[in-house]
Structure 1
Amino acid sequence: MTKLSVNINKIATLRNSRGGDTPNVIQFAKDVQRFGAQGVTVHPRPDERHIRYQDVRDLKAEVYTEFNIEGNPIKSFMDLVLEIKPTQVTLVPDAEDAITSNAGWDTIKHKAFLTEVITEFKANGIRTSIFVDPILKMVENAKNTGADRIELYTEAYAEDYVNNREAAIKPYVDAAVLANGLGIGINAGHDLSLDNIEFFQKHIPNLLEVSIGHALIAESLYLGIENVVQMYLHRLSK
């Protein structure tokens, strides 16, 4: 079974927009694990506009499933990961001002840098994954950095799925077949949703883990709002 890691950044975004501690990031992480999620993902950025570095420290004691920390390996991020020692670190080449991740690594151009970073994380017992586009040469060179896994960047799949899902999935299947042959594990994430996740999972051989945040939180609002509205109406009718 492919594991589900829930990215809780959007919960922190909602909390930060109002101040205070509602919704509570730590409680949400506890709840998604209690509901069956096999992992929790966070992506702290330098400006801490959603998940804060202190959130990551607070989560360490509460995440008893797999803890995945994503981010660009600048010094502050590396120091945080080495302090927490999560199950997995996922290296993402996002700019500091990026709204969300928008590209995978060029594993050829940045091979030396990635190899150095990965060597340090692995020496500390942390599983490493590299965020990559479904480009065969990038997958092949990800293996050469010493990474344990790749995370396939799935925005293109999600965008093309509604028009031609067979064409949308093909480069990801090809990348997965290559990764399997190289002996590197496969994760995936970005814009995967209830609409497209089943087709993706069925076609990607040996898909180990998906990390889903934005869609999962939005879908939770849509699928849960009727119940909450009815609960308010019930209380107001007393």
Structure 2
Amino acid sequence: MTKLSVNINKIATLRNSRGGDMPNVVQFAKDAQRFGAEGITIHPRPDERHIRYQDAHDLKPEVYTEYNIEGNPITKFIDLVLEVKPTQVTLVPDAVDAITSNAGWDTIKHRSFLADVIAEFKQNGIRTSIFVDPVLDQIEGAKETGTDRIELYTEAFAHEYSLGNKKAIKPYADCAELANSLGLGINAGHDLSLDNIKFFKENIPELLEVSIGHALISESLYLGVENVIQMYLKKLK
């Protein structure tokens, strides 16, 4: 069964827009788990424009499902992850000024760097995942870094699927088959939604986890958080 990890960055964005503590990100994480979420994801960025580094510490004792911290492994981020020790760290090659994640790693070019970072996390008992584009040689490169999992970057699929192009799933399915043959676990995320998640899940063998934030929070404005989480869980079964 594919696990649903709820990315709560947008809750922090809403909180920060007013300068107070409403909505409270820790309480939202607790509620999301109570409603059935099987993980909580955060993606702190250096400017702390949504999730703050302190949030990562505050969430640690309250996330009793899987705790996933995403980010670019700069020194500050590495130190945070080693202090918090989440279930999983997902390495994302964010530019400092990126609005959102917009590319996977070049696992061949950056293999040595990624291998060193991953080794340190694994020595501390933290499962590792690398954000990658659906390109076969990048999956092979990921294997060489020593990572436990990959996270398929799904924006291209989501865009094409919205246009009616179901063939856009093929590179993802091919990469999933290769990853499985190499012993890599498979996660996925970015622009997955209630509209496309069932089709994606049905076509990706051994999909372990999806991380969904922007769509889930947006859908919840109309349908309610508890209801939307249950809708995702039903589609992922």
Post-superposition offset of 1:162: 2.2
The whole-number CA distance in structure 1 between the counterparts of 2:162 and 2:20 is 39
**Percent same amino acid among aligned pairs?**
78
Secondary structure at 1:46 match in 2:
coil
Q: Secondary structure at the match of 1:187?
A: strand
Q: Distance in 2 between matches of 1:130 and 1:110?
A: 11
Cα distance in structure 1, aligned partners of 2:48 and 2:135: 31
Q: In structure 1, the residue corresponding to 2:157 is in which secondary structure?
A: helix
Which residue of structure 2 aligns with residue 139 of structure 1? 139
Distance (Å, rounded) in 1 between the aligned partners of 2:36 and 2:143: 31
Q: Which deviates the most, 172-181 or 156-165?
A: 156-165
Runs of 4+ in 1 over 2 A off after TM superposition: 162-166
1:184 aligns with 2:184: yes
Residue 88 of structure 2 corresponds to 88
User: Match for residue 4 of structure 1?
Assistant: 4
Q: CA deviation at 1:107?
A: 0.2
Residue by residue over 1:209-234, the C-alpha shift from the partner in whole angstroms, topping out at 9 and shown as x without a partner, is: 00000000000002139xxxxxxxxx
Instruction: Tell me the distance in 1 between the aligned counterparts of 2:73 and 2:162.
Output: 34
Aligned counterpart, 1:234: none
Distance in 2 (CA, whole Å) between partners of 1:100 and 1:90 is 15
TM-score, normalising length: structure 1: 0.93
Q: What is the aligned-residue RMSD (CA, Å)?
A: 0.9
User: What residue number does 1:54 align with?
Assistant: 54
TM-score between both structures, scaled by the size of structure 2: 0.94
Deviations 1:87-129 (A, max 9, x none): 0000000011100000000000000000000000000000000
Shift of 1:166: 2.6
What are structure 1's unaligned runs of at least 5 residues? 226-238
CA distance in 2, matches of 1:193, 1:122: 31
The answer for unaligned runs of 5 or more in structure 2 is: 226-237
Which structure ranks higher in relative contact order (CA pairs < 8 Å, sequence separation ≥ 6)? 2
Does the CA contact (< 8 Å) of 2:160 and 2:166 recur in 1? no
Matched residues in 1 for 2:206 and 2:224: separation? 32
1:236 maps to which residue? none
Counterparts in 2 of 1:99-138, with a 5 A limit?
99-138=99-138
The one-letter amino acid of 1:159's match is H
Opposite residue 156 of structure 1, the aligned amino acid is: A
Supply the distance in 1 between the matched residues of 2:97 and 2:166 (Cα, whole angstroms). Answer: 34
Q: Which amino acid aligns with 1:60?
A: K
